[in-house]
A and B are shown apart, each in its own frame.
Chain A
Amino acid sequence: MADAIDMNTDTGDGAFSASQEGRVGGGRIEGGYDAVVVGATIDGYVAAAYLAKSGLRTVLLEAGAEQPERRAFAPGFYADDGECLLRDLDTEAVNALNLYRHGLCYVQRRFGAMYYFSDQSSLAMNGDLFCAYETVADFDEAEADPFQRFLEQLLETGRELRPFFHGEPTGKLSAKTLKLIDFYGSSSIDQLLNRGFKNDRLKDLLRTEASIHSGLRPSDPHSFLSLIRRWSGEAAGLQGGCAFASGGFAGLYSALRRGAQALGVDIRAGGAIGSMLVEWDGAAGVQMADGGQIRAPIVINALGAARAFIDQLGPEHIDIEFQKSITTPEPRFTFAKVHIALSGAAKDDLTKKNLSRRLVYCPDAREVRVAYRMARDGEVGPALMAELTFPSIFEEGWAPENSHLAQAWIGPVPYRTDDMERTRKEVGRAALSTFEFIAPGVTDRVTAIDVQLTDDRANILGLPSTALSGYDAVLAQAQRARVARTASNVRGVFYCGPEAQISPGVNGAAGRRAGQAAIAYRRSLGAAA
């Protein structure tokens, strides 16, 4: 591979010494690279690692975004601002980067779940969705069978569609799956649940699972695909399950970083990216804000589409329809992340067992509808969906001795309001009242609460807020990803930012796809030469 470098300009003498310092700058023009990856996101790391692994000299520019770190929000209590519950980590990428060797470790692999309903009833479920029958039979004997069949059908469809959610050809789908997706295709969650179940609480459960983190209301067409997407993924070897990595989101990041470094990716911090260089309709590298250049015939961009294509590639290389089709519209509602510091927590085995699950509050159909309407109109509804987990149960370091850290996804809440401070307060209040409903008396032990709306997290993580707002309609996202992946008309430019992703949560598949596409492109260049 390396001998095929013919598109680079001559390298200045200072180039390699600059890279050894790990910084870019000084207005120098550097060469000697086969590929530049812009953006140290998960997909950026994965793409860079793939390139380096196939022998290309690769540099990853951090583009100003800092490594996520645990953030202290109260003395001794740490918040994780990333997506800390993993539901779908691309297995191939995990293997290619050898992430387990580089420190990826799950401290909790199979979250069970405890569902709480508005009528005070509750239902405990095993983390393995394939084994739902028994617990549901205790809850409602008549519905256990249809429920189990429904879950199995969904998981099977999800498994067959997983490549699609990872942006790959799905191959041959079974006749059964094709029939099911005809049926699921434009259905709303409410429509299908009303068809499938009589038990309102089971409907509430599935509605909440499907709606948390979906950008659609349960009454919206196509919303059912969100549930299939959510359960198509596999975390720590269990489909539909979720896992918590040691160190949370930051732990995953540092494993990725080490994995990429071990494969020879040159990671550079600091310098702001000015623009992508295009010469003769082909990528030529990256121009830094201070005037320096890093030249390479392949550029992979892992930033938000607006930044990647409009600011960095430049409007002259894209047309207006393309611009429109890749930019995620601003959503009307989203989910908030809330961190709660709890004092005086018992550390006995029973508490440990109870709190090592996901605690999910499932409001009834009407409450959910009211909440979505109010969120869209800038208000926080009286009853919200919530998913609580307790990192301090699995791992030391999240909370001081004899205390616990609770973290919750809660929503729907407004995406943007005139008075964000007020919204934060209301979300905090809603989170506490939900928590109080689940565990009466808990409010007295809350010592601090930290509410992160989408914009707050975007600022901390250095990502566009639209990338964090919860997930858009599957179809809209798939369509956008299809367009975004083909990047632009510029040869050698590949894209794996948030807009290239269809799957839920952090994943890495888009980065792998971009890396593989860039390698294929590089080979075709070699062949032509």
Chain B
Amino acid sequence: MKHRRQFDLVVIGAEPCGLVAAACAAREGAACAIIETGLEAPLGPSAPAIPNFVWRRLDLHETALTVEPVSAYVSLFKNGDKFATYKNDRRTAEAVRSQDPGDGALWEDFVGEMRSHTERSLSFRDFLVDGETAGAAQTAHTPHLMTDAAMTDALVTVLNDYFQNDTLKAHLAAIAGAAFAIGGEEPGSRLAASSICGDDAWRIKNAQALSETLDHLCASLGVARIMSPIESIDRQDPRTFIIDLSDGDEVRTGALMASSSRIARAAGLQIDGDPSPIFADENVEAVVTFTLSSDAEPPAQDIAGDSAIYYIAENPDEVRAARDAVLEGRTPDNPPLVIEFAGREVVVRAPYCPRMLASDEGSREWTGQDRQLLGARVAQRLAEYLNGALDGIETTDVRLLHIAPDDLDRAPIETSSPIAAPEPDADEIGAAARLALKLVANG
């Protein structure tokens, strides 16, 4: 028999940000459901942070959850140099100063300026309309115009404006690039720097505990969990989506969102709304997991602490070249990498992989062989940078996040209407929660 269920908000994707979105909406009294897609990213060692407003709304202090920031973001270089930044601004400023006194003097200004911008809400529409109301009385000195400039500034421009030190620039370009898979010279890409400098952008290390707590919280708030695959989504009118599930059930909802733009893309759904300048959709992210015979020894522990995230990109040019490669359907020669250590596992993310590979006959899908090659290339690059820390690899697993895994046999979702998704932001959870609250408030 066909079951019909009615919700106020349905979230596609059961990642932490999706769980938070549903929980926040449920706290507002909305009837919510989460549809698991099977495309969720595997839980890594670290997770996105929980901004304060989410913490308060969900009363997370009443749970047993404690969160701890990861100890550092560390860049590794081929010549053995290393450079780290920390959640604590003062400690980071100190690190920058010891690298280059001039840059150190500017660090606080840089972070201040990055945080002060409200570009997130700036759109071409605002630019048009504000410009008119402000009229000709403006002078070059109004902050308004400076914000306008920020809309089209490139990440590399702002880095070169502020800093001299190549190590620092490579470090920032690697973190910002890895978060959004941008090349750093696109107009507006400086927004990536704003995002990674944000107050709630620093990742936390208790991914597992966070996920469990959120699961539990959603269950206690009555958020429905739907496991069966979606067959089609039909938007009857602006306030009614009808979702047909493959088990024959039908779900109706007033509002629909993807937990992240990644999930939406993996499911083949189009994203609704004003695209952000740091939204890149030509790439897929590869996660390569190496299992070692014994616990891995993370490098540079003197400056990195015990739970650091490591970045590999020699300079901003490597980030740029990686983005070029993605656009042309190649895997980059020197892929920028993000590395995390968890016991015997070394989890490496390679954000710059093309969605489709170029071939003589146009483009083609990834094959098992392509993945193997990628895994080998990543292992080789790690060996160059990690200096033996990766000895004794027992297994290598390569997974592409934006592409449905081979064993997940699902027909593409039929739909004609685009779907809402959070804006790209290093504060993933905050972005998803804000979108969910907005959708519920409009309903």
Can you show 25 pairs from A to B with CB atoms below 8 A apart? A170-B132, A173-B128, A181-B124, A181-B125, A181-B128, A184-B124, A186-B123, A186-B274, A186-B275, A188-B275, A190-B282, A216-B187, A219-B186, A220-B187, A221-B189, A319-B140, A321-B140, A322-B141, A325-B140, A475-B127, A475-B148, A482-B145, A482-B148, A483-B140, A483-B145
Give bound CA distance, A479 to B145, whole Å.
Answer: 7
Interface 9-residue window, one of A52-60, A70-78, A366-374 = A366-374
State which of B148, B187, B270, B324 has its C-beta within 8 Å of the C-beta of A221: B187
Q: Mark A488-516, 1 if CB is under 8 A from B, else 0.
A: 01000000000000000000000000000
Q: Report whether A187 and B138 are in contact in the complex, using a CB–CB cutoff of 8 Å.
A: no
In the complex, B139 has a CB within 8 A of chain A:
yes
Residues 329-371 of B at the A interface (beta carbon under 8 Å): 329, 358, 363
In the complex, A169 has a CB within 8 A of chain B:
yes
Interface residues of A (CB under 8 A from B): 161, 164, 169-170, 173, 178, 181-188, 190-191, 195, 216, 219-222, 225, 319, 321-322, 325-326, 329, 366, 369-370, 373, 473, 475-476, 478-479, 482-483, 485-486, 489, 517
Q: Report whether B140 and A222 are in contact in the complex, using a CB–CB cutoff of 8 Å.
A: no
Give bound CA distance, A222 to B276, whole Å.
Answer: 9
Which residues of the other chain, B, contact A329 by a CB distance below 8 angstroms?
A: 157
How many residues on B have C-beta within 8 angstroms of the other chain's C-beta atoms? 39
With contacts A186-B123, A325-B145, A475-B187 taken as known, whether A170 is within 8 angstroms of B140 at the C-beta atoms is no
With contacts A186-B123, A475-B127, A483-B140 taken as known, whether A366 is within 8 angstroms of B187 at the C-beta atoms is no
Give bound CA distance, A7 to B278, whole Å.
Answer: 53
In the complex, B188 has a CB within 8 A of chain A:
yes
Q: Mark B402-432, 1 if CB is under 8 A from A, else 0.
A: 0000000000000000000000000000000
In the complex, B208 has a CB within 8 A of chain A:
no
Give bound CA distance, A473 to B140, whole Å.
Answer: 19
User: In whole Å, how far is A163's beta carbon from the nearest beta carbon of chain B?
Assistant: 10
Add 5 more A-B contacts to A181-B128, A219-B186 (CB < 8 A): A182-B123, A185-B125, A190-B282, A221-B188, A373-B324
User: In whole Å, how far is B238's beta carbon from the nearest beta carbon of chain A?
Assistant: 13
Residue of B with least CB distance to A216: B187
State which of B149, B275, B278, B358 has its C-beta within 8 Å of the C-beta of A366: B358
Q: Report whether A220 and B125 are in contact in the complex, using a CB–CB cutoff of 8 Å.
A: no
With contacts A373-B324, A473-B152, A485-B136 taken as known, whether A164 is within 8 angstroms of B128 at the C-beta atoms is yes
User: In whole Å, how far is A185's beta carbon from the nearest beta carbon of chain B?
Assistant: 3
Residues 124-158 of B at the A interface (beta carbon under 8 Å): 124-125, 127-128, 131-132, 136, 138-141, 145-146, 148-149, 151-152, 157
Q: Report whether A370 and B328 are in contact in the complex, using a CB–CB cutoff of 8 Å.
A: yes
Which residues of the other chain, A, contact B138 by a CB distance below 8 angstroms?
A: 482, 486
In the complex, B214 has a CB within 8 A of chain A:
no
Residue of B with least CB distance to A169: B132
Q: Report whether B124 and A225 are in contact in the complex, using a CB–CB cutoff of 8 Å.
A: yes
In the complex, B268 has a CB within 8 A of chain A:
no
State which of A169, A325, A475 has its C-beta within 8 Å of the C-beta of B124: A475
In the complex, B250 has a CB within 8 A of chain A:
no
In the complex, B72 has a CB within 8 A of chain A:
no
Residues 247-284 of B at the A interface (beta carbon under 8 Å): 270, 273-279, 281-282
Which residues of the other chain, B, contact A161 by a CB distance below 8 angstroms?
A: 128
In the complex, B327 has a CB within 8 A of chain A:
yes
Give bound CA distance, A182 to B132, whole Å.
Answer: 17
Give bound CA distance, A319 to B142, whole Å.
Answer: 13
State which of B149, B157, B328 has its C-beta within 8 Å of the C-beta of A479: B149
User: In whole Å, how far is B296's beta carbon from the nearest beta carbon of chain A?
Assistant: 36
Pairs of residues from A and B, 3 with the lowest C-beta to C-beta distance, nearest first: A185-B124, A221-B277, A322-B140
Give bound CA distance, A181 to B274, whole Å.
Answer: 9
Which residues of the other chain, B, contact A188 by a CB distance below 8 angstroms?
A: 275
Give bound CA distance, A173 to B329, whole Å.
Answer: 40
Give bound CA distance, A296 to B212, whole Å.
Answer: 77
Give bound CA distance, A170 to B276, whole Å.
Answer: 24
Which residues of the other chain, A, contact B141 by a CB distance below 8 angstroms?
A: 319, 321-322
Q: Report whether B187 and A473 are in contact in the complex, using a CB–CB cutoff of 8 Å.
A: yes
Which residues of the other chain, A, contact B187 by a CB distance below 8 angstroms?
A: 216, 220-222, 473, 475-476
Q: Report whether B140 and A478 are in contact in the complex, using a CB–CB cutoff of 8 Å.
A: no
Which residues of the other chain, A, contact B186 by a CB distance below 8 angstroms?
A: 219-221
Residues 369-422 of B at the A interface (beta carbon under 8 Å): none
Which residues of the other chain, B, contact A373 by a CB distance below 8 angstroms?
A: 324, 327-328
Which residues of the other chain, B, contact A186 by a CB distance below 8 angstroms?
A: 123-124, 188, 274-277
Which residues of the other chain, B, contact A479 by a CB distance below 8 angstroms?
A: 127, 145, 148-149, 151-152
Q: Report whether A482 and B131 are in contact in the complex, using a CB–CB cutoff of 8 Å.
A: yes
Q: Report whether B149 and A185 are in contact in the complex, using a CB–CB cutoff of 8 Å.
A: no
Give bound CA distance, A222 to B278, whole Å.
Answer: 11
Give bound CA distance, A214 to B279, whole Å.
Answer: 21
User: In whole Å, how far is B262's beta carbon from the nearest beta carbon of chain A?
Assistant: 16
Residue of B with least CB distance to A223: B187
User: In whole Å, how far is A59's beta carbon from the nearest beta carbon of chain B?
Assistant: 26
Give bound CA distance, A369 to B152, whole Å.
Answer: 21
Q: Report whether A486 and B275 are in contact in the complex, using a CB–CB cutoff of 8 Å.
A: no
Q: Report whether A366 and B128 are in contact in the complex, using a CB–CB cutoff of 8 Å.
A: no
Which residues of the other chain, B, contact A321 by a CB distance below 8 angstroms?
A: 140-141, 146
Which residues of the other chain, A, contact B145 by a CB distance below 8 angstroms?
A: 325, 479, 482-483
Which residues of the other chain, B, contact A325 by a CB distance below 8 angstroms?
A: 140, 145, 149
User: In whole Å, how far is B263's beta carbon from the nearest beta carbon of chain A?
Assistant: 18
Give bound CA distance, A436 to B186, whole Å.
Answer: 34
Which residues of the other chain, B, contact A185 by a CB distance below 8 angstroms?
A: 123-125, 274
Give bound CA distance, A195 to B279, whole Å.
Answer: 15
Residue of B with least CB distance to A215: B187
Residue of B with least CB distance to A191: B275
Which residues of the other chain, A, contact B277 by a CB distance below 8 angstroms?
A: 186, 221-222
Give bound CA distance, A161 to B124, whole Å.
Answer: 12
User: In whole Å, how far is A218's beta carbon from the nearest beta carbon of chain B?
Assistant: 10
Q: Report whether A219 and B282 are in contact in the complex, using a CB–CB cutoff of 8 Å.
A: yes
Q: Report whether B281 and A191 are in contact in the complex, using a CB–CB cutoff of 8 Å.
A: yes
Give bound CA distance, A463 to B151, whole Å.
Answer: 28
User: In whole Å, how far is B34's beta carbon from the nearest beta carbon of chain A?
Assistant: 27
User: In whole Å, how far is A164's beta carbon from the nearest beta carbon of chain B?
Assistant: 6
Which residues of the other chain, A, contact B278 by a CB distance below 8 angstroms?
A: 221
Which residues of the other chain, A, contact B363 by a CB distance below 8 angstroms?
A: 366
Residue of A with least CB distance to B145: A483
Give bound CA distance, A475 to B131, whole Å.
Answer: 12
With contacts A322-B140, A482-B145 taken as known, whether A369 is within 8 angstroms of B327 at the C-beta atoms is yes
Q: Report whether A369 and B328 are in contact in the complex, using a CB–CB cutoff of 8 Å.
A: yes
With contacts A221-B277, A222-B188, A370-B328 taken as known, whether A486 is within 8 angstroms of B140 at the C-beta atoms is yes
User: In whole Å, how far is A181's beta carbon from the nearest beta carbon of chain B?
Assistant: 5
Give bound CA distance, A220 to B270, whole Å.
Answer: 19
Residue of B with least CB distance to A171: B132
Which residues of the other chain, A, contact B146 by a CB distance below 8 angstroms?
A: 321
Which residues of the other chain, B, contact A219 by a CB distance below 8 angstroms?
A: 186, 282, 327
User: In whole Å, how far is B341's beta carbon from the nearest beta carbon of chain A?
Assistant: 34
